[in-house]
Amino acid sequence: MSQLGDMNTPIQKFLEKYPDYILTRSLDELRLTEYNRLDSQGLVYVDYTGGGLYADSQIRDHMDMLRNGVFGNPHSANPSSEATTRLVESAHAYVLKYFKASPDEYVAIFTSNATGALKLVGEAYPFQPDGRYLLTFDNHNSVNGIREYARTKGAEVTYLPVVPPDLRVDEDRLDEALAVTASGPKLFAYPAQSNFSGVKHPLDWIKKAHDKGWDVMVDCAAYVPTNRLDLSEVKPDFVPLSFYKMFGYPTGVGCLIARKDALKRLTRPWFAGGTITIASVQADSHFLAEGVEAFEDGTVNYLSLPAIEIGLRHLEDVGIGAISDRVTSLTGWLLDQLLELRHSNGASLVQVFGPTTTYMRGATITANFYDSDEILINHSRIEELASDARICLRSGCFCNPGAGEVAHGLTKEEMEEGFKNRDRMTFEQFQTILERIGGKSAGAVRISLGLASNFDDVYRVVEFARGLLDRQASQV
């Protein structure tokens, strides 16, 4: 489908509506040279919100570094350790450079993933009675989980709902929530981009919250793979992220970018190797290190950290602006096409949860599929059929229960009914309960685009969806 000659081809019609796409043709060359394994295997990869893809050159550069160096544990002063320390320090510095964060104002703390970064904040934040934890409905579960720390310490937890159909926050309600006074510390958490709906929440909320005395944590895990985060312009206190979502490799390394002033307000509930200057068994005491060292538990993943700098340099060479322009065009066309698909009786095949235009939204589309009688086609079955077609998408709840509950019209009473049985249950068992009490779903299908996406990918997704027309849910 990549031919450009016939003006009536799908790609030419696409270019007529999204002409900026042509300015990103350099990414087509990149696809051929750095990501050609996709085409050689006939795969359509549309799960970038779940994990990014690495370029061939990233692996070569990292392996060359490992083959040509001798790197020991950095907690020493011998030549191999000093070589490692230089690479670790370089990685710290390059993360700040990439996000334009002044080293006088910010530090980069390496963790196992974005969840590890969030846990650092949650366990150490000075929640107390008459303190507050405010968060939007569409936060990832790793942000939701911080409420347990807040409640244990007596702080009040408040959720801001997202409003259908676009699943955005009512800013009047946000203003009301931020205006609430409290004598204790206040933490406001929200995603820069929802990993469920693709909604981009305004970054100017950061200053608005600061002006009301709140600390602000912005989950950027789903945002930074296709958008520029400039920390010289916006000043969140805490920014958790995972590098594999940005450029695929390595996994197992995340980061907490934190303002130094905010970091000083955190009190760690324990200490570990690498986080202290000295500890004693007999004196039963310890002294924590300062800054980054106080928060990087144990030995960092020092052989993987150099790959972070390699990945960030790769994104800089590609250009985050080009990535953003490309996925915006592809997302717009994909939304257009999916929403136009109708069964012979006029019933819609696809219901999109979230914005149906590209205004203030990212390249994540979450939807469900219905037959001509408006009966839901099970999301897991859609994933199975897509897999048969060599399309890598995702189904489930995406660790974002709040957005999903609103999108699926699940009420508080229905959710409480599902939790009446206190025995641990699986997601599938919970889904069965919801179907019994309300005929509703807790899951959906997610299609997400990224650096290596092209028109052929989204065209094949649309053709796959078209193949579901006029098929009954019971027969799919």
Catalytic residues: 399
What burial letters (b/e) apply to 316-343, b meaning 16+ CB within 10 Å? eebebebbbbbbbbbbbbbbebbeeeeb
Report which of 243, 205, 216, 231 is spatially closest to residue 143, judged by C-alpha positions.
216
What token pair was written down for 270? Answer: 């324990």
Reported in sequence order, the residue ranges of 192-311 that DSSP labels E, i.e. its strands, are 215-219, 238-242, 254-259, 276-280, 285-288
Tokens 């000295």: give the residue: 278
Interhelix angle 10-17/320-340, rounded to 10 degrees, is 110
Report which of 218, 440, 450 is spatially closest to residue 328, judged by C-alpha positions.
450
Reported in sequence order, the residue ranges of 52-140 that DSSP labels E, i.e. its strands, are 106-111, 132-136
What token pair was written down for 276? Answer: 């202290």
Residue 23: phi and psi, rounded to 5, are -75, -10
Check: CB of residue 400 under 8 Å from CB of residue 141: yes
The Cα–Cα gap between 333 and 326 comes to 11
Radius of gyration of the chain (CA): 24
Residue 153: phi and psi, rounded to 5, are -95, 5
Q: Which residues on neighbouring strands pair with residue 193, listed in sequence order? A: 200
Burial of residue 79 (number of CB atoms within 10 Å: 0-12, 13-18, 19+): exposed
Burial of residue 472 (number of CB atoms within 10 Å: 0-12, 13-18, 19+): exposed
Q: E strand or H helix at 376, and its extent?
A: strand 376-377
